[in-house]
Amino acid sequence: MEPLVDTVIEDPRWQGFGLAERADMAAAATLAAMSLPREGFSLCLMGCDDARIAELNGAFRAKGQPTNVLSWPSEERGSEFSGEAPQPPEPGTADDPTELGDIALAWDTCAREALEQGKTMQDHVTHLIVHGLLHLLGYDHEDDDDAELMESTETRILAQLGVADPY
């Protein structure tokens, strides 16, 4: 079976972490929780450092500082109503999957946050992959209703993966 996530490693610290395997596992669980077939979708995840993510954050969000995760949906999928789940995208085929978009994770910020929050790096990164993929699927946290929906969806998916509620 082809990997669901095309993983690009820019910072070698991600190599020994097993980012590709963790990304594929978290993405497959997220799609399954949304009743979407893994064979019909693909996405790209980049493991980078704080300098690279700060550059991307500045270029795309006009915030030139590091962050833990960024995501770029391939198309707008959000709901027009606050607190309402977005319509799921149509799956492609195994040979021509629907591209959901791109996610970037910064090693330095992820490692620092995991330590500060008393979480394992594995659990924190799993949460951030689920979070980023939900953004690709049209979820957001722009207002309280949307944030509540997104957080409860993340918590449900993470529980299925054996990861404690991050909130």
Residue ranges at the known binding site for Zn(2+): 131, 135, 141
Q: Which amino acid is at 135?
A: H
- Asked whether the beta carbons of 83 and 108 are under 8 A apart, the reply is no
Alpha carbons within 13 angstroms on the beta-carbon side of residue 84 total: 8
DSSP bridge partners of 41 = 98
Structure tokens at 97: 């999957």
Q: Which amino acid is at 86?
A: P
> Nearest CA to 41 among 99, 123, 2?
99
Q: Which amino acid is at 3?
A: P
The Cα 165–Cα 66 span in angstroms is 24
Query: What residues form the annotated binding site?
Result: 131, 135, 141
